[in-house]
Structure 1
Amino acid sequence: MAEQINGDSLLEMFIFETLQNTEQLEKIILETEKNGGFSDSTINEIFRIMHTLKGSSAMMSYSYISSLAHKAEDLFYYIRENPTVSYNCSRISDLILLCMDYINREIDKIKENNEVNFESPEEVIKEIENVLIEIIANRDNIPTNNIDEPSYNSFKVIFYFEEGCEMENIRSFSIIRDIQEYTKDVTYIPDNVIDNDDTALIIRQNGFAVSFRSDKSYSDLHSLFSRIPFIRDIDLTLIDIEKCTISDSPVKELQEVNSINKITKQQDNQVKTETHQSTSQSIISINVSKLDKLMNLMGEVVIAESMVVENPDLKGLQLQSFQREALQLHKIIVEMQDMVMSMRLVPLTTTFQKTHRIVRDMSKKLDKEVKLEFIGEETEVDKKIIEHLSDPLLHLVRNCIDHGLESEKERIEANKPPIGTITLEAFNAGSYVYILVKDDGKGINKTKVLEKAKKNNLLIKPESEMTDREICNLIFLPGFSTNEQVSEFSGRGVGMDVVMQSITSVGGSVSVDSIEGKGTTITMKIPLTVAIIDGMNIEVGRKHFTIPITAIKESFKPNKDNIICDTDGNEMIMVRGECYAIMKLYKQWDIETRISDLTDGILIMVEQEEKKRCIFADSLLGQQQVVVKSMPDYIRKTKIVEGISGCTLLGDGSISLILDAGWLINSEIKYKKEG
């Protein structure tokens, strides 16, 4: 287990930076494969990343990660220092991706405090060693000359960190560990960077000064230092131009360094108290838990405002001044709310980029050439929703390659380009984000889908009444799969229903459009945020419910002449020549109410993906912005919660249950058979 060098903040920074590095590594490898080989710059970049991973994981005492990164670093060091050697680029790319997968798995265990189950990277290390042995065996025969004893020069360097990078003292300690690998007699100021957290302020103000001796040239050292992460500027000075051997006594002190030491000691107390107006920064890192807390507090402000404005003690009073100030308060709260929400929004770029890897791996294994295109990847979505979106998106892309795209031979026979195309597109529309996954493959065989659905008794309506879209959407039913053989990627009857569940769990929806022989488009409609929504409050008996405004098409008092009954005796409503089913909430959940006649209550027409249904309630209480709170665990585990997506507090302090729009439209009306 890693030593707690500087508490949880250091561990969080280690995890964050490691994941950033592995993401960058994957991007480099995939780009390299497109270009057909490693360039000098990519070799240097991979070496730098592995060097950073080795140092940071060693500092945190994660020896398995450090040893693997060290071995990969050795491989790229040899390739970098011997540019004429020949090697298999594809094999090395596979190895580096294996390293990345291993590191990501171990980081997941670290985040879950599951470090006791660390697995050894011995197999991957052995494979890297084998590749390195092969490269050395194939190297060009270069004559070796007698090398004189190396001579050393004395240097001084001051590192200046980027603004906002935080924990400069820990980063300085990491730099020292790295420098000691290729220098001698290292001294540095401040010298107690690990034990004294206050040194971070000193380094932030004055830089981190290091003196050392090295046999490397000035330009080589400057190049090495320039690749250190989070370094804004480097002041490298050659102190002693006259060369000295390794046996010479080390440089004890440098006048310049001593002067810095005096300055830092004099300013130590001043740094703690001064406000550094000169160090302005445009971007800072914020822990997600703080944003969650801020969002919750913003929600409480919205509830408190509602309680004040709708206080029953104020009813009937003429309070023009109060109403004017309340309106101004509401404007400020709405602006604050928009700002807090925008802080949680993150672009889909990273989520989209993750699909590159699955496309690369599957196209190799299935021998299909695939081109991946992105449109609108800069579209922003709430971070909480992003977490629910990643796995479904990867599964849909996997499905496109496995089910949708034909082999090269089949595509040529169908007069299509030999390379299949998958397009990921995202755009905003109102309070929703639409994400489209499109392929130009063979499309969905609707006849085959219907046969499979009938065989498994999955049809919910007569075949003759089903539209093409409804037939295609059968693939989202649990246990549905048209693959006859179980493969590494599909045929197990799980997956698409999980995609549907993941998207609906955040208030979204999924639909499919497909043209046989042309391709398939899967559309995911997802709310921008699930924290605060505009809702319509309704009353059923003494119970309160809230329906999301985005799901409501209209509300109206039914006319007796427009009410009809089907063959089972269930009431339906005719609206502009269309007939709609009616769900009576008081019957659905056995709620006591005095209003049972349709003409005495109100009908709310809800709509989702071209499906409509009318909901019968006693009355409308009015529109209100509500804060969505999750149901308690002990309630969520019961069947009572079916159809409820959350709860909220109303202005009078009462609790309102938030109805799931998808459930309202698609669920079975339980009292239907009662006649």
Structure 2
Amino acid sequence: MADTIINEPMLDMYTFETNHLIEQMEELILHGEKSNQFLLSIDESFRIMHTIKGSSAMMLFNNISELSHVVEDLFYYLRENEPEQVDYQALSDIVLESVDFIKNELSKIEKSCPADGDAKEIIDGIKQFLINLKELNGDCYISKKDNSISQPAMHKPFINSVKETDLSDKRKYEVVIFFEDGCEMENIRAFSIIHMLSDITSDLSYYPENIIDDDTTIEQIKKEGFKISFKTLTSIESIRELLENTVSVKNLELSAQNDIVNMIEAQNDNSSQCQTNLLKQELITNKELSVQNHLHSTKNQGMISVNLSKTDRLMDLIGELVIAEAMVTQNPDLKGLELNNFDKSVRQLHKITDELQDVVMSIRMVPLSTIFYKMHRIVRDMCKKLDKEVKFEMIGEETEVDKNIIDHISDPLMHLIRNAIDHGIESKEDRLLKGKPQEGRIILEARHAGSDVLITVKDDGRGLNKRKIIDKAKKKGLLYKPEEEMSISEIYNLILLPGFSTCENITEFSGRGVGMDVVVRNIETIGGTVSINSTEDLGTTVTFKIPLTLAIVDGMNVCVGKSRYTIPTTSIKESFRANLADIICDPDGNEMIMVRGQCHPILRIHEFYRIKTDVIRLDEGIVIMLEHEEKKLCIFVDQLLGQQQVVVKALPSYIKQRKKIVGLSGCTILGDGNISLILDIEGLLKGNIN
């Protein structure tokens, strides 16, 4: 089916929601394993697998549906029987193996490849685990629900697993379901609910009826809701919980049908009369709950899912709007004119543009927890394979960054966590010999630093060996200066070079330094930096410094000759006209300026980039003091042009490939149509030092 409808919104929604559910499932299992409280998440795990089973069967991804069905049966047994003896470690392993299989199949679907994975071995393993679990807990019988594990999952929309039951024992209900505004494909979602209820109900009917073939039913469902009538032995509380937890359901009205009350009132004995009164009371209560549900859901609606490509397009349009605003307000034709009404309108336009930009940016911001929680699985799996104990801690996972930033840092973070466990944290025996706790510790932390975010991976392992790093660098010919002249940070940064590794034994995991050049390249792609600090036998800290967003920044425009440059305002400490009496030259001819008793190096931009200009004397131009990670640098430019929000554009590839051109992070278009290069302060500092 993936081949025929891969571009349809229905399939996109399926992959989005299933990915979300499978991530929730993984978090539940890992949390339960860590806290030894599996039983608290059994109901939620059962609901997730039930939803995945139904939606996958509806989309005809039978291998996912069959596997989900078997895992659902396992959680059903755990929920209903609450066995005392359970090997939770083995349970985690088989469920996570199922999660990995579903993830892999979803990845194939998203790449327009057939989801052709074979889950037979995993299914057989789960069946055997359930059989062993029942024998261990002395359960001799197998219910009809349990028998379903030996049968394939549903492929047709209406299969009732309880048809053999006496219908006279069943209760009849009516439900009207309303979906969230903007969720789209209401008819398909309605079909999914019918598919889900078919397992636990009989005499199932619904309106509108032709929900698959007739797309006009979408508007009908939006206005009137989706109406279902059915009989079931399941309690009304369980039915309500199942429906309320279904994805995109906004609110529902669930009640017992009146014919049940009439049937019971026809009975003459006192016990039947008593049951009638109870049922009437339940009917009243259900109606009250239905009203409360509707009111509560109405208050909390407003969450919709939006395709990321749409927010990308919206962000591009905002960027073009910022450029257009600058073109209007900085039009050379307006120079020298006094236009009070125009200036007032420009201020209002600027206010609205700023607010619009802030709103769009907030839409794209997502918490780092979306990738931080994925690291739990990596830590768990690697500790098991390497026989190590590691306590993994997260700090500041609620910190938000642009969605595009998230996509670029996921793999680098994964690489660092693997390195920290594989070659950072020592074995249990080695840690005990060093007087350390047997359990290692890894901290993943995120925090704001101005307009940037700092992400730190810290371990308490063996740390980096400076001697080994220098010897390896010599052997590889990577030393760019005598080792006695290299600072500690420069020595540690050698491991970031391509092909560098201190790993002596090849394992299935990366050694510290293996592939670190790829990590650096990914981080630099988004305008970030990587720094390393380490103390031997105490641990290593690797820090990513990344921008909050890649789209729009506040900048100060300056000119040097006929060239234009933009400096991020967050890096500007101050600007001033230099006094020649404060200029100092060291024995090597490097210029420095004395500011309030402290000397700071001066970088002449026209000399650094070889630009022709008539402003040569330091007292004729402007000196701007820049600060980056507590390091200061004064740059000399011709004049300031003014502050402006600029849209960041990537540099052409041929400029990036030229190693001599440093200190540039991107470019932008100014209001007069000229191109301005955005300065990279860290690059300027390195270029000035080297």
Q: Shared topology, TM-score over 0.5?
A: yes
Q: Deviation per CA, 1:152-205, whole angstroms, max 9, x where unpaired?
A: 135232143453344332211011112223333321111122233443343344
- Using the alignment, how far apart are the partners of 2:348 and 2:143 within structure 1? 83
1:59 matched to which residue of 2?
58
**Alignment match of 2:194 (pick from 165, 171, 176):** 176
CA contact (8 A) 2:412 2:519 kept: yes
**Alignment match of 1:142 (pick from 140, 145, 150):** 140
CA contact (8 A) 1:541 1:586 kept: no
2:173 matched to which residue of 1?
156
- Using the alignment, how far apart are the partners of 1:124 and 1:222 within structure 2? 32
Q: Deviation per CA, 1:474-510, whole angstroms, max 9, x where unpaired?
A: 3322222222112122238533222222222222222
Aligned-residue offset at 1:343:
1.9
Identity %: 50
CA contact (8 A) 2:71 2:95 kept: yes
- Using the alignment, how far apart are the partners of 1:50 and 1:484 within structure 2? 44
Q: 5 Å matches for 1:386-535?
A: 386-491=406-511, 493-535=513-555
1:235 matched to which residue of 2?
254
Q: Deviation per CA, 1:572-600, whole angstroms, max 9, x where unpaired?
A: 44555646374655664x65556677776
- Using the alignment, how far apart are the partners of 2:26 and 2:173 within structure 1? 36
Q: 5 Å matches for 1:72-91?
A: 72-84=71-83, 87-91=86-90
1:366 matched to which residue of 2?
386
CA contact (8 A) 1:513 1:521 kept: yes
2:42 matched to which residue of 1?
43
User: Structure 1's 422 and 159: CA in aligned 2 closer, same or farther, altered over 3 A?
Assistant: farther
Q: 5 Å matches for 1:37-436?
A: 38-39=38-39, 41-84=40-83, 87-113=86-112, 115-116=113-114, 118-135=116-133, 138=136, 140=138, 142=140, 150-152=165-167, 153=170, 155-161=172-178, 163-164=180-181, 165-214=183-232, 216=234, 221=239, 224-225=242-243, 227-231=245-249, 232-237=251-256, 239-240=259-260, 281-436=301-456
CA contact (8 A) 2:74 2:130 kept: yes
The answer to whether residue 34 in structure 2 is matched with residue 9 in structure 1 is no
User: Structure 1's 595 and 457: CA in aligned 2 closer, same or farther, altered over 3 A?
Assistant: farther
2:601 matched to which residue of 1?
580
Aligned-residue offset at 1:29:
0.8
The AA in structure 2 aligned to 1:36 is: N
- Using the alignment, how far apart are the partners of 1:86 and 1:280 within structure 2? 41
CA contact (8 A) 1:222 1:236 kept: no
User: Structure 1's 603 and 149: CA in aligned 2 closer, same or farther, altered over 3 A?
Assistant: closer
- Using the alignment, how far apart are the partners of 2:256 and 2:515 within structure 1? 60
1:30 matched to which residue of 2?
30
Q: Which moved more, 1:377-386 or 1:123-132?
A: 123-132
In structure 2, the gaps of 5 or more residues are 145-161, 265-296
The AA in structure 1 aligned to 2:379 is: V
Q: Report how many residues are paired.
A: 632
CA contact (8 A) 1:311 1:652 kept: yes
TM-score after normalising by structure 1? 0.83
TM-score after normalising by structure 2? 0.81
Q: Which moved more, 1:140-149 or 1:370-379?
A: 140-149
- Using the alignment, how far apart are the partners of 2:243 and 2:233 within structure 1? 15
Q: 5 Å matches for 1:647-658?
A: 647-658=667-678
- Using the alignment, how far apart are the partners of 2:400 and 2:141 within structure 1? 58
Aligned-residue offset at 1:603:
5.4
CA contact (8 A) 1:162 1:230 kept: yes
Aligned-residue offset at 1:607:
4.3
Q: Which moved more, 1:297-306 or 1:606-615?
A: 606-615
1:247 matched to which residue of 2?
none
Aligned-residue offset at 1:632:
5.8
- Using the alignment, how far apart are the partners of 2:142 and 2:472 within structure 1? 71
Secondary structure class of the residue paired with 1:504:
helix
Aligned-residue offset at 1:571:
5.1
The AA in structure 1 aligned to 2:301 is: Q
CA contact (8 A) 2:2 2:114 kept: no
Q: Which moved more, 1:441-450 or 1:173-182?
A: 441-450
Aligned-residue offset at 1:97:
1.4
User: Structure 1's 188 and 635: CA in aligned 2 closer, same or farther, altered over 3 A?
Assistant: farther
Secondary structure class of the residue paired with 2:668:
strand
Secondary structure class of the residue paired with 2:23:
helix
**Alignment match of 2:684 (pick from 664, 668, 671):** 664
Aligned-residue offset at 1:20:
1.0
CA contact (8 A) 2:560 2:605 kept: no
Q: Which moved more, 1:348-357 or 1:451-460?
A: 451-460
User: Structure 1's 666 and 448: CA in aligned 2 closer, same or farther, altered over 3 A?
Assistant: same
CA contact (8 A) 1:187 1:211 kept: yes
CA contact (8 A) 1:349 1:377 kept: yes
The AA in structure 1 aligned to 2:174 is: V
CA contact (8 A) 2:187 2:215 kept: yes
Secondary structure class of the residue paired with 1:290:
helix
The AA in structure 1 aligned to 2:20 is: Q
Secondary structure class of the residue paired with 1:182:
coil
- Using the alignment, how far apart are the partners of 1:284 and 1:224 within structure 2? 21
CA contact (8 A) 1:72 1:96 kept: yes
In structure 1, the gaps of 5 or more residues are 244-276
The AA in structure 1 aligned to 2:34 is: K
Aligned-residue offset at 1:639:
7.3
CA contact (8 A) 2:423 2:511 kept: no
Aligned-residue offset at 1:324:
3.3
CA contact (8 A) 2:365 2:403 kept: yes
Q: Deviation per CA, 1:197-239, whole angstroms, max 9, x where unpaired?
A: 4433433444322223445565665565455444433514254
User: Structure 1's 48 and 104: CA in aligned 2 closer, same or farther, altered over 3 A?
Assistant: same
- Using the alignment, how far apart are the partners of 1:655 and 1:235 within structure 2? 63
Aligned-residue offset at 1:32:
1.8
CA contact (8 A) 2:177 2:227 kept: no
